[in-house]
Chains A and B, each alone.
Chain A
Amino acid sequence: MTATQKTIPGEAAKAPVWRTVANQFLSRPLIVIFVLSIVVASLISPAFLSTRNVFNLLQQSSIIGIISIGMTFVILAAGIDLSVGSVAALGGMIVAILCQDQWPVALAIVAALAAGALLGLAMGSIVALTSVPSFVITLGGLVAIRGLTLLLTDGRPVFGVPEELKFLGAGFIGPVPVVGIIFILVTIAAAVFLRLTRAGRYLYAVGGNADAARLSGVPVMAVVAMTFVVCSTLAAFGGVLLTAWLEVGQPTASAGAELTAIAAVVLGGTSLFGGKGGVFGTFVAVILLSILSNILNLAGVSPYFQQITTGLVLVGTVLLNWFIARRAAPMA
C-alpha cells in the first residue's frame, strides 16, 4: 500500500491560487503545454489564431490524426501496430486504382477499408492466438504490406481522382475542411465507443490486466483482434483521404506514419503498458504536434530543427508524466 497524498476538498479551497494552478499542471501537463503553445504561437504571429490558420492546422492534423485514433485502440490494449503506414498506403492505392477502373467512389472506399480490416484481422488474430509480441507481427506487416502495395502498380503512382473523392480529401464545407470534420467525427465516435460500450470497457480491462480480464469472462482474444481491425481500418481510411487530398495514389505514401502516430498517442497520455488513456488526449496531441511545426514554420526555423524539437517535446512530456506518476506513488 502506498500512502498516497489525497487532496481533501476543504484543504483545496484554502490552498493558494498558484498551488491550484501547479496541481492542475501536474495532473494535466498536455493541456497546459497545449495552451502554452497556442499563447506562444499567437505572440509570434497574430495570424496564428485566424480562422484560416486554425482550419489549416486541423486539415494538416486530420489524416495522421485518424491513424493515431486507431493506434490508440491498439495501445490501450497494451499492443503496438507498426504497420499503419503501409496499410494506409495500400488503402490509398486501392481506392486510386479502383476509381481509375471506373468503380463507384463509395464502393472503392469500402473496398479499401475492407482490405484494411482484413489485414487487421489477420495480424490481430495472430497476436491474439500466439504470445508473439504485436511489435514483431506488425513489423512483418509493415514490410510485407508495403511490398504488396508497391507490387500493385510496380511502384508507379496512380493519377486522376474523381471529384467526389477529392471533396473528401481537399473539400470544404463553409470554411471548415471536410477531413477536419471527419477527424472530429472519428474521434467522437471512438470516444463514445470506448466510454459507453461493453467492448470499450473490455478494451481497458484487457489492457490493464489481460489475465484478470480473462478470469472475469472477458473474451480477451476477440478484444485484442478487434483493436487491430479498428486500427488497420482507420489506417486504410487515412490512406484513402491522403489519396483524395493529394489527388494521387502513391505506393510510397505514409512511410513512417507509425512513429508519428505512436508519438501522438503517447504524448496524449495513453500508457504504452495499456489500460490507461483515451482518444481525446490523442486528438489534442496530434493538433499540438501540428501547432509546434506551425510555430517553427512561422518563426522560420529549419525543418531539421523542427524534428529535433518534436522529439524533445515528446520525451519531455512523457518524462513529465513519469515524474507525476512517481510523485503520486512515492513507494513504487
Chain B
Amino acid sequence: MTIEMQVPALAPTPAGPPLAELRNIYVAFGGVHAVEDVTVDLHAGEVVGLVGGNGAGKSTLIRVLSGAHTADSGEVLINGQRVEIRNPRDAKALGIETIYQTLALADNIDAAGNVFLGRELQSRLGSLDDAAMESATRNVMGRLNPRFRNFKTPVKSLSGGQRQSVAIARAVHFNAKILIMDEPTAALGPAETAQVRELVMQLKAEGIGIFLISHDIHDVYDLSDRISVMLQGKLVGTVRKERVTKDEVLAMIIMGKQPGDVTQSDLEELHG
C-alpha cells in the first residue's frame, strides 16, 4: 500500500473553543524531559486517542489535566478559559475525572468507599452515610459490570478487572464533562474490554469528551475521532482517524513520521 495523497497532520476540528486544551505543556523530572511543548485538545462528545510507546510521556501529559502534578510551563484551558489546576480536587471541580493507569484505589477500603473517596455522602448529622454510598455504587455497577458482587470487601482482594470497574465507576458516577482513561483495558480480558468499549461509545453519545490513552494503537483506533501521537516526550502530530490507516499511525508512533512521509520501505520495516 502506498500513500498517494498528502494528509494534513492537523485536520479541522468542530467549531467553538475546545472543551479542554493543553497548550505548550512542559514537564521535566530532574534531567528527564517527560513532556516537551505538547499541545492537544478535546471537544465535547469527542474521543481523542493519545498513543505512543511506553515512556512517551502520555501519562505525564494527561496527569497535568488531572491535577496529579503541575506543568513546569504551559497552559490549561477549559472551554477556552485559562484555568489553574493545582491538585486533583481542582480538576474534579472542573468536571475532569480520571481513571489512572495505576487505578489509584485505596486498597484497604471497599468499593463504595473508593467510589466516594474525597466526596463522601454524609447524613444530616455529618456522619458518613455508608448505606447511601453503597446503594449508589450498586447502581453504577449495575450499569458497568452487572456481575460485580463484592461490595463489602476491601478492593485489595478483588480481581484486576473488578478493581478496574471500581476505578471506572468512580470516574463516571460524578457526571464528568471530561473523562481521562489512561490504559483502561490494560488489566482486562476480552469480555471486560468489550464492556469498556461500549461504555466509551455510550459516554461519547452523552456528550462527554474523552481522552483515551494507550501504548497500543489497536486499543483506540476504532473508538477515536482523532488521534494524537507522542514520541519521546514530544507530540508527533494529531490526525483525524478517518484520514489515516493504522499503519500510518504506527509509523508515527515508532518512527515519528508524518502520515504523508511514510514510504513503502517504512511499512515493510514496520511489519518486518
A-to-B contact residues, CB < 8 Å = 1, 4, 196-198, 200-201, 204-205, 207-209, 211-219, 275-276
Contacts and interface: CB of A to CB of B under 8 A. Distances in A.
Interface stretch (B98-106, B190-198, B217-225, B231-239): B98-106
Nearest to B90: A217
Given A196-B128, A201-B113, A216 B104 contact: yes
Interface stretch (B22-30, B42-50, B119-127, B200-208): B119-127
Contacts of B107: 208-209, 212, 275
24 contacts: A4-B157, A196-B127, A197-B128, A198-B120, A198-B122, A200-B128, A201-B109, A201-B117, A201-B120, A204-B108, A204-B109, A207-B108, A208-B108, A214-B88, A215-B88, A216-B88, A216-B104, A216-B170, A217-B92, A217-B118, A217-B119, A219-B89, A275-B106, A276-B108
Interface in B61-103: 66, 68, 87-89, 92, 98, 100, 102-103
B128 A218 contact: no
B92 A275 contact: no
Contacts of A211: 104
Given A198-B122, A217-B89, A218-B117, A212 B105 contact: yes
A212 B113 CA distance: 13
A4 B156 CA distance: 12
B128 A209 contact: no
The 8 lowest CB-CB distance pairs between A and B, nearest first, are: A217-B118, A208-B108, A215-B104, A216-B117, A196-B127, A212-B104, A205-B106, A275-B108
Interface string B105-145: 11111000110011110100011100000000000000000
B8 interface: no
Contacts of B175: none
Given A196-B127, A196-B128, A218 B108 contact: no
B54 interface: no
A268 to B, nearest CB: 17
A1 B108 contact: no
A214 B90 CA distance: 12
A201 B112 CA distance: 12
B160 interface: yes
Given A196-B127, A196-B128, A201-B128, A215 B68 contact: yes
B117 A217 contact: yes
Contacts of A209: 104-108
A213 B117 contact: yes
A216 B118 contact: yes
Nearest to A328: B157
A204 B98 contact: no
Given A216-B114, A217-B92, A218-B117, 18 more contacts: A198-B122, A201-B117, A201-B128, A205-B106, A207-B108, A209-B104, A209-B106, A212-B102, A212-B107, A213-B106, A213-B117, A214-B87, A215-B68, A215-B88, A216-B104, A217-B117, A219-B89, A276-B108
A209 B107 CA distance: 7
Nearest to A212: B104
B104 A218 contact: no
A86 B105 CA distance: 37
Nearest to B115: A216
Contacts of A208: 106-109
A201 B105 CA distance: 14
Nearest to A217: B118
